[in-house]
Homo-oligomer: A and B are copies of this chain.
Amino acid sequence: MPLAESRNASRRILSAARAIAAREGAGRITIDAVAKESGLSKGGLLYNFPTKKALLSGLLDQMLAEHRDLLGSVPEQHPLRTLRGHLETALQSEGVTDDLSIAILAAAALDPPLLDPLRVELADDLERIVSETQDAPGAMVAVLAIQGLRFQKLLNLPDGGADLRDRAIERLRTMIDELE
């Protein structure tokens, strides 16, 4: 099963990279470190990801794929499904230490163009979100708040405490509900 194993190796490598980023910061994602963490040899890692850019863009791809999956899991006929999906994606990794979106940081710091796939995906989603509502500015504010949520978690910025944060999320939800 060469293909399946290759995927397994890729996943192991990517999650190793995430672990390092979560533990020591995005800047510490080096080929040697990731190889060590994943249990592969350096050669083996470079067999799967021939360059560091490929590794980082693999991280982003994985993130985008997970994002797409979650979006797809929102019932088809649901109004504002893209917006709701976005909220869920942002909330999903709640509590998980190694937030995948750290890849964004690493990619942006190393080579900003790596973020291009993310940009087109996001532009797509935005368009869809706007088309799903009559209140485009309101939806946009919601999108901004969701992005703020991601940013906050990503950088471990203060959130006013779990209580306030939960109530804010609840508020966001009702805001979205009333948007329709």
Contact = CB atoms under 8 A, between A and B. Distances in A.
Contacts of A112: 25, 156
A164 B27 CA distance: 35
Which bracket fits the contact residues of A? Answer: 35 or more
A97 interface: no
A145 interface: yes
Given A122-B157, A146-B148, A158-B123, A27 B110 contact: yes
A79 interface: no
A140 B165 contact: yes
A74 interface: no
Main secondary structure of the interface of A (DSSP, over half): helix
Given A109-B109, A126-B158, A137 B164 contact: yes
A105 B109 contact: yes
A140 B111 contact: no
Interface string A125-168: 01100100000111011011111111110011111100011011
A175 interface: yes
A139 to B, nearest CB: 8
Nearest to A149: B144
Given A130-B164, A147-B152, A160-B126, A171 B138 contact: yes
Contacts of A16: none
Interface string A91-113: 00000000000001110111110
Contacts of A175: 141
A170 interface: yes
A3 to B, nearest CB: 33
Interface of A: 25-27, 104-106, 108-112, 115, 118-119, 122-123, 126-127, 130, 136-138, 140-141, 143-152, 155-160, 164-165, 167-168, 170-172, 175
